[in-house]
Structure 1
Amino acid sequence: MKNILVPTDFTGTSERALAWAKFLAKHYSQDGQETLLTLAHVTQPYIPDSTLPTGEVGIGMMAVQEMEDVGELNLQEIADQLEREGFKTRIESRVGSIDSEIVDVADELKPDLIVMGRSHIDSFFDWLAGSSAADVAMTAHCPVLVVPTPDPSRNYPVQLQNIAYATQLEFDENHILRPVVQLARTFQSNLRLVKIQALNQPNVRDDRQYLTQIQAEFGQQRFVEDTVDADNVIEGLTKYTQTHQVDLLVMATRERDFLSKLLNPSLTKRMVLNSDVPVLVYHAEENY
């Protein structure tokens, strides 16, 4: 892993994401390669109000420029601290929509991974609107690790002892599993394949068909296979991560058209918004 993109808004949520980025970069740097941490901050543009006097509009524009300058100073301070800790860094400051600017930076710099914090979703309207982290996870062209703000009543150490991979065993997933298996090998993690058996989920193909295919490439000893009965996938995965000490949940998402997204919101996005543990999102190549 040569380049990790870490968007930040300088809050505790971003600090948690940075801790994960440092954890990963330190480990991969030990393998003989230097991992670059690219810190990015997006200042949202000023939207002028046509009812305001021209002078007040100018003041608003100046305020945005000042916020951008402050953002660059804060980025540089974090970068300097990381350099003192032995990390190689780069900073990117942008103005615009948070999620689209982050995706643009990722398209330009081609990072191996984006690590991004996600604040609490406290209401239905927060969930409906989504979050920048969830939007980036669904649209970026590279894997995205979304790190939620931890519950202060629970201990969530930054570690990779137990990885859970959510699967429905309804399509060929070996191309997605390859980097997940490599991640588990690199960190010597326990890897579990987790299928949620829910009434509202399709169960068309025989699970054994794909389990045999997975075992043929990766070996049966590599996985623990768990099937969980639940009313729905989100409930099942949430209970599973809470009862099995999961450090990281891995999910895949696929391209869908606008109508599909509107009528059937992605399970991956919903889990990103609801999970208490970090969620690593991979993008499958095929459409459905």
Structure 2
Amino acid sequence: MKNILVPTDFTGTSDLALAWAKYITKNYLNDGLEATIVLTHVTQPYIPDTTLPTGEVGAGIMAAQEMEDVGELNLRELAEQLEREGFRTRIETRFGSIDSEIVEVADELQPDLIVMGRSHIDSFFDWLAGSSAADVAMTAHCPVLVVPTLEEGKHHPVRLETIAYATQLEFDENHILRPVVDLARRFQSNLRLVKIKALNQPNVYDDRQFLDQIEAEFGRNRFAEDTVDADNVAEGLTKYIHRHQVDLLVMATRERDFLSKLLNPSLTKRMVLSSDVPVLVYHAKENY
């Protein structure tokens, strides 16, 4: 992991994401590896108010241009601060829709990881609207780490003592587990494989089949295995995170067709929007 993309809007939420990016990057730098933090800021386009006189539209466009200039200036200042701290940086400014522009930057630069902050969601309408972080996590073609901002300005400590990997044990996950195991090894973290047994979750294959597959490649002592009974997976994972003081939840999302998404909204996205701890999202290659 040598290039980390960090979108920022210069708020406390972005500051938390940057703290995690610095924490991860510093580990690579300490090992003598080169690593770059790519800072990006997206200015949203001006949407004219049709109730205003026509002459006001030009003023709105000028204001949007000023916001773009201010954003670039702030981005440069942030990059200079990081370089004084010993980090290598690059900046990218964009104009447009936040989530789509971030994904476009990621497609262009091919970072190893995107780290984004997620604002506190405290109402049904916030949940319904979702967040740019969740949208990026579900559509980007690289791993995405979403760092939540909790109520009253609280936040989870920046550490990786315990990593929980949510598994169904219903398909081959070794290709996703490889970078997770590497992450746990690099930070000397405790890695726990967690399966939530819920009525709405399929249980087609024998768990032992896939556990044997995992143990054959990574070794039995690399992780702990936990099975939790719960009414639903999201509830089970949330309780498990609190009970075991998990620092990072890792989840895999798989591409699904439109009807599947409509009938069964992504569990991964629900956890990205609700988790009190950072969620690292990987994308499985298989479709279903």
TM superposition score category, shorter chain reference: over 0.9
Q: Does 1:188 align with 2:188?
A: yes
Distance 2:80 2:72 in 1: 12
Q: Is the 8 A contact 2:99 2:136 kept in 1?
A: yes
Residue 173 of structure 1: how far off its partner (Å): 0.4
Q: Is the 8 A contact 2:184 2:190 kept in 1?
A: yes
Distance 2:163 2:151 in 1: 20
5 Å-filtered alignment, 1:152-163, equals: 152=152, 156-163=156-163
Taking only the aligned residue pairs, the percentage that are identical comes to 82
The root-mean-square deviation of aligned C-alpha atoms, in Å, is 1.2
Superposed CA deviations along residues 185-234 of structure 1, whole A, max 9, x for unmatched, are 11111000000011111111110010011001100111100001111000
Q: Does 1:238 align with 2:238?
A: yes
5 Å-filtered alignment, 1:143-158, equals: 143-152=143-152, 156-158=156-158
5 Å-filtered alignment, 1:1-288, equals: 1-152=1-152, 156-288=156-288
Residue 152 of structure 1: how far off its partner (Å): 5.0
- Which residue type is aligned with residue 63 of structure 2? A
TM score, norm. by length of structure 2: 0.98
Q: Is the 8 A contact 1:145 1:278 kept in 2?
A: yes
Distance 2:131 2:278 in 1: 15
Residue 54 of structure 1: how far off its partner (Å): 2.5
Distance 2:101 2:152 in 1: 31
Q: Is the 8 A contact 2:148 2:276 kept in 1?
A: yes
Residue 33 of structure 2 aligns to a residue whose secondary structure is coil
Superposed CA deviations along residues 69-120 of structure 1, whole A, max 9, x for unmatched, are 1111111111111010000111111111100000000001110000000001
- Which residue type is aligned with residue 73 of structure 2? L
In structure 1, the gaps of 5 or more residues are: none
Q: Is the 8 A contact 1:151 1:276 kept in 2?
A: no
- Which residue type is aligned with residue 148 of structure 2? P
Residue 259 of structure 1: how far off its partner (Å): 1.6
Residue 205 of structure 1 aligns to a residue whose secondary structure is coil
Residue 285 of structure 1 aligns to a residue whose secondary structure is strand
Residue 2 of structure 1: how far off its partner (Å): 1.4
Distance 1:44 1:249 in 2: 31
Residue 156 of structure 1: how far off its partner (Å): 2.3
